[in-house]
Amino acid sequence: MKLGASILSFMILVLFSCNNINNEYYISQIDSINTQLNEAAVGYSNVDSITIANIRKRVKTNCKRVRSLEDTVINKIFIPYSQIDKSMKQILRMDYQIKKNIKISRTQISDLLHDVNHSIIDTIVLKEYIKEEKKIVLTIAERMKYNQQRIMEETNRFDSLNPLIEQYFNKTN
Kindly write down the DSSP assignment for every residue of 73-126, as one continuous string: HHHHHHHHHHHHHHHHHHHHHHHHHHHHHHHHHHHHHHHHHHHHHTT-S-HHHH
Summary mean pLDDT of the chain: 85
Q: Is the confidence at residue 95, as pLDDT, over 90? A: yes
| Dihedral sign computed on CA atoms, order 79, 63, 58, 172 | positive
Task: Answer whether residue 119 shows pLDDT above 70.
Answer: yes
Q: Report the amino acid identity of residue 65.
A: R
The confidence band for 30, taking pLDDT boundaries of 50, 70 and 90, is very high
Cα Rg of the chain, angstroms: 27
Contact between 146 and 41 (Cβ < 8 Å) = no
Spatial separation of the C-alpha atoms in residues 66 and 106, rounded to whole Å: 46
**Which has more confidence, 140 or 71?**
140
Residue-level pLDDT at 5: 46
Residue 166's contacts (CB-CB under 8 Å, 6 or more residues apart) are: 62
CA dihedral sign of residues 122, 131, 91, 79: negative
pLDDT value for 11:
42
Residue 39: Cβ-neighbour burial (10 angstroms; 0-12, 13-18, 19+) = exposed
pLDDT of 133 strictly over 80? yes
pTM: 0.79
